[in-house]
Amino acid sequence: MRGRRVIHGSFLGSAVFLPILCFAQTAPDLTKSYRNGEQALRENNLIAAEKAFRAALARDPKSVEARANLGVVYMREKQWNSALNEFKKARELAPGVPGIRLNMGLAHFRQNDFEAAIPLFVSVVKDQPNATQARYLAGLCYFLTEQYSEAMLMLEPLWKEQSRNLQYLYVLGIAAGKSQRPELESKSMDQLLRVGGQSPEMHLLMGKAYLAREQPEKALAEFTQAALVNAKLPFLHFYTGVAWRRQQKPERAESEFLEDARIEPELAFNYEQLAEISLAREDDKKGEKLFREALQRDGRLGASHYGLAKILSRRGEYANALFEVNEAERLDANSASAHYLKAQVLRKLHREVEASREFAIVQQLKKSAQDDIERKINGLQTQDPELADERF
């Protein structure tokens, strides 16, 4: 191997950074093409960087440096699959380099594939216990997949350096509360109040914390305070809508989701929530349109696939319904509601053996708590889009 990578870039705070993978100057045989590519990447000239790294690989197909930084080029271009392909090839050539696994994890993270990102970030932390960014990202991924105890254990050691970071305090506090650590929950929330003061961002986070505690009335009070200072705060209207849904006020919720969609037209969750309100009103035509708009923006929304499957099944389009419910099941394999709907659709398609298998799975899953998809459809649960949003 021609040198050890040093990751350059700011710590994850206001934006997920896309680091250049730089090499110590201990490799005299680095090609001119590679050096040109590295310079172009530093200048964010992605076309020139890709061309230069490909030229370097043509000269030396086993150049880990060129392969890894070509992956960074693709990350910056949001070509996630191409980036992952390059990182995988680089990892095969240099499996012991943590920086490659960190960037692989980032590529998965930016696609909201948090389950795939977790082992990559954890492996970096195992190799480098002081790898702050990898630890923070691992904690976020655990939190976003509702593995709260793991999130708390991963994040708590960062207290000394992150105890003035509002998002950190919010995530740690919620994770601690869900993990039966009331002293750490109180410590985090008290610190959140001290650091955040009366800022709209603090009121938004406190409102979200109340939602996590199933206290929508208190959440609405916090959101109202935030809106008095900054009514265009990202995600504020989205979470206000969630709170109104939990208060069984769909009209008020709808107006909030529409307002947030005006502020953040690319946020898929707004369209999913609006579609679910339409579904509850049995307005299938509008619901279908909105679910498709949500999936156009984020194909990993299991509740949207499930909602579409219900609409298509009611309309008698069983083959299309089966496709959508298969997608919902793929995204949440433990969803009893997805398996039940799939069984019903298979029965309509006269595939009785497969239908019976799905009904059997439903019986096994009934022993567990109500599944995520039905809770999302009923407005009782939603993934935290703010933490996974690319601006975070």
Q: What is the DSSP letter of 78?
A: T
Element housing 381 (H / E): none
Cα distance between residue 84 and residue 92, in whole Å: 12
Tell me if residue 202 falls in helix, strand or coil: helix
Which tokens in the block code for residue 126? 């195992």
| Position with higher pLDDT, 15 vs 318 | 318
- Structure confidence at residue 385 (pLDDT): 65
Average pLDDT over residues 140-159: 95
Tell me if residue 20 falls in helix, strand or coil: strand
Which tokens in the block code for residue 111? 């696609």
- Structure confidence at residue 107 (pLDDT): 92
Q: Residue 122: pLDDT band by 50, 70, 90 thresholds?
A: very high
Among the ranges given (6-20, 41-55, 134-148), the one the predictor scored with the smallest mean pLDDT: 6-20
- Structure confidence at residue 383 (pLDDT): 65
Domain that holds residue 7: 1-111
In the predicted structure, residue 112 carries a pLDDT above the cut 90: no
Average pLDDT over residues 162-187: 94
In the predicted structure, residue 392 carries a pLDDT above the cut 50: no
| Position with higher pLDDT, 392 vs 87 | 87
Q: Residue 37: pLDDT band by 50, 70, 90 thresholds?
A: confident
Among the ranges given (21-25, 30-34, 110-114, 233-237), the one the predictor scored with the smallest mean pLDDT: 21-25
Average pLDDT over residues 211-236: 93
- Structure confidence at residue 390 (pLDDT): 43
| Position with higher pLDDT, 156 vs 63 | 156
Cα distance between residue 136 and residue 153, in whole Å: 11
- Structure confidence at residue 111 (pLDDT): 84
Could you tell me if residue 185 is inside a domain? no
Last residue of a domain, one of 67, 90, 111: 111
Spatial neighbors of 150 by CB under 8 A, at least 6 apart, are: 142
- The shares of helix, strand and coil residues in the chain, as percent rounded to the nearest 5, are 70, 0, 25
- Structure confidence at residue 25 (pLDDT): 40
- Structure confidence at residue 376 (pLDDT): 59
Last residue of a domain, one of 87, 111, 135: 111
- Structure confidence at residue 380 (pLDDT): 56
In the predicted structure, residue 151 carries a pLDDT above the cut 80: yes
Could you tell me if residue 17 is inside a domain? yes
Average pLDDT over residues 264-283: 94
The CATH number of whichever domain residue 282 belongs to comes to 1.25.40.10
Last residue of a domain, one of 77, 111, 145: 111
- Structure confidence at residue 365 (pLDDT): 84
Could you tell me if residue 42 is inside a domain? yes
- Structure confidence at residue 212 (pLDDT): 85
In the predicted structure, residue 336 carries a pLDDT above the cut 60: yes
Q: Give the 3-state secondary structure of the chain.
A: CCCCEEEECCCCCCCCCCCEEEECCCCCCCCHHHHHHHHHHHCCCHHHHHHHHHHHHHHCCCCHHHHHHHHHHHHHCCCHHHHHHHHHHHHHHCCCCHHHHHHHHHHHHHCCCHHHHHHHHHHHHHHCCCCHHHHHHHHHHHHHCCCHHHHHHHHHHHHHHHCCCHHHHHHHHHHHHHCCCHHHHHHHHHHHHHHHCCCHHHHHHHHHHHHHCCCHHHHHHHHHHHHHHCCCCCCHHHHHHHHHHHCCCHHHHHHHHHHHHHHCCCCHHHHHHHHHHHHHCCCHHHHHHHHHHHHHHCCCCHHHHHHHHHHHHHCCCHHHHHHHHHHHHHHCCCCHHHHHHHHHHHHHCCCHHHHHHHHHHHHHHCCCCCCHHHHHHCCCCCCCHHHHCCCC
363 by Cβ neighbours in 10 Å (0-12 / 13-18 / 19+) ranks as: exposed
Could you tell me if residue 227 is inside a domain? no
Average pLDDT over the chain, rounded to an integer: 86
Average pLDDT over residues 89-111: 92
Q: Residue 23: pLDDT band by 50, 70, 90 thresholds?
A: very low
| Position with higher pLDDT, 16 vs 272 | 272
Q: Count structural domains, the chain.
A: 2
Q: Residue 16: pLDDT band by 50, 70, 90 thresholds?
A: very low
In the predicted structure, residue 105 carries a pLDDT above the cut 80: yes
Could you tell me if residue 330 is inside a domain? yes
- Structure confidence at residue 59 (pLDDT): 87
- The percent of residues above 70 in pLDDT, for the chain, comes to 86
Q: Residue 342: pLDDT band by 50, 70, 90 thresholds?
A: very high
Q: What are phi and psi of 370, to 5 degrees?
A: -55, 135
Element housing 359 (H / E): helix 352-365
In the predicted structure, residue 134 carries a pLDDT above the cut 60: yes
Q: Residue 30: pLDDT band by 50, 70, 90 thresholds?
A: low
Give the pTM. 0.73
Could you tell me if residue 204 is inside a domain? no
Average pLDDT over residues 200-221: 91
Could you tell me if residue 142 is inside a domain? no
Could you tell me if residue 61 is inside a domain? yes
Which tokens in the block code for residue 363? 């019986």
Count CB-CB contacts under 10 A for residue 90.
27
| CA distances from residue 232 to 31, 100, 206, 389 in whole angstroms, order as listed | 50, 38, 17, 16
Q: Residue 221: pLDDT band by 50, 70, 90 thresholds?
A: very high
Which tokens in the block code for residue 282? 């049995």
Count CB-CB contacts under 10 A for residue 345.
27
Cα distance between residue 306 and residue 2, in whole Å: 49
Which tokens in the block code for residue 221? 């009070």
Cα distance between residue 41 and residue 19, in whole Å: 10
